[in-house]
Chain A
Amino acid sequence: MNASVIIFYILSAFILGAALLAVTARKIFRSAIFLLFTLIGTAALFFWMGVEFVAAVQIIIYVGGIVVLIIFSIFLTQKSGDEMPKPLRNRSLFSILALVFGFAFAYQLIYEHEFGQIVHKSFDVKVTEIGTQMLSTKEYGFVLPFEVVSILLLASMIGCIVIAMKIKPTEEREIQ
């Protein structure tokens, strides 16, 4: 029972606790803050697993981008101090049943599966290796998904601007 085992249990309790609070909070701003805690906990789990680059990317994009975007959209669309309505009792009951049975089934499958010989090689992820492999065209090269994701980001940026753009009333009458 060394320190890394204890840290893993603390981290997983933190992640699952914050996630449960995020989906059951009645005020929407608290739900966003609990989501923030969950994402930070996931980044800490990535740090614990030794992939520091993915952890840093997670913090920059998820915590620093998506959660901020969600909070801004909460401010733009409603008063954030009001209580949200509780879900219907039937819906909540069946969702909890689905959650429990789904989780039991999936974890049963995982528990019974023999993962073979787990080779305890050291998992050393250097950022230079990630960089060269991301742009390499040979085997295990990821330059095609990289370019496709760049085009996807450009398309999504243009799409967001067009969809959320406020048209002035005179132009709107012309369009309609």
Chain B
Amino acid sequence: MNEISITHILFVSTALFFIGMYGLFTRRNMITMLMAIELILNSVNINFVAFNKYLYPDKLDGVFFAIFVITIAAAEAALAIAIIINLYRSHDSIDVEDATELKY
């Protein structure tokens, strides 16, 4: 544990963030875009806990932030799935390029 400094953990979380960003840009299926967003939220959680552990080990703020981020991510994922299901009923496809009603 002494040889792993905070920059190692931040490398992992930064890489995970940018992998999720690539997935969000590249995917056309709405459910896989949601999966990429979950990767981004996970990277942020790792960041919070790492900063708490290495820089402020006597407080618990990072741990609480991580717990609240997990909770809000769960609520948001459920809502996104409900919207996707509703959109599937009217369009019969979950391709994001097919939802073009609001396009100018």
Interface of A with B (CB < 8 Å)?
1-2, 4-5, 8, 12, 15-16, 19-20, 22-23, 28, 31-32, 35, 38-39, 42, 45-46, 49-51, 53-54, 57-58, 61-62, 65-66, 69-70, 73-74, 76-78, 84-85, 87, 91-92, 94-96, 98-99, 102-103, 106-107, 110-111, 115-116, 118-123, 125, 129-130, 133-134, 140, 142, 145, 149, 152-153, 156-157, 159-161, 163-164, 166
Interchain residue pairs A-B with the least CB separation, the first 10: A23-B23, A156-B75, A164-B82, A160-B82, A163-B82, A123-B57, A95-B25, A121-B57, A12-B12, A87-B26
Chain A CB within 8 A of B99 CB: no
Query: How near does chain B come to A61, taking the closest CB pair, in angstroms?
Result: 5
Which of A28, A50, A62, A118 sits near B38, CB closer than 8 Å?
A: A62
A65 CA / B73 CA spacing, docked (Å)? 11
Which of B11, B21, B45 sits near A42, CB closer than 8 Å?
A: B45
Size of interface on B: residues with Cβ below 8 Å to A = 72
**Is the pair B53, A51 in contact by a Cβ cutoff of 8 Å?**
yes
- B interface majority secondary structure: helix
Q: Report chain A residues within 8 Å CB of B53.
A: 49-51, 123
Q: Report chain B residues within 8 Å CB of A142.
A: 64
* Chain B residue with the shortest CB-CB distance to A116: B55
12 extra interface residue pairs, beta carbon distance < 8 Å, beyond A28-B31, A66-B38, A118-B55: A19-B20, A19-B39, A23-B22, A28-B32, A38-B39, A39-B38, A77-B85, A77-B88, A103-B14, A115-B5, A145-B64, A153-B75
Contacts A49-B50, A61-B71; A35 near B64 (Cβ below 8 A): no
Contacts A115-B55, A164-B85; A130 near B4 (Cβ below 8 A): no
Contacts A35-B35, A38-B42, A95-B22; A53 near B49 (Cβ below 8 A): no
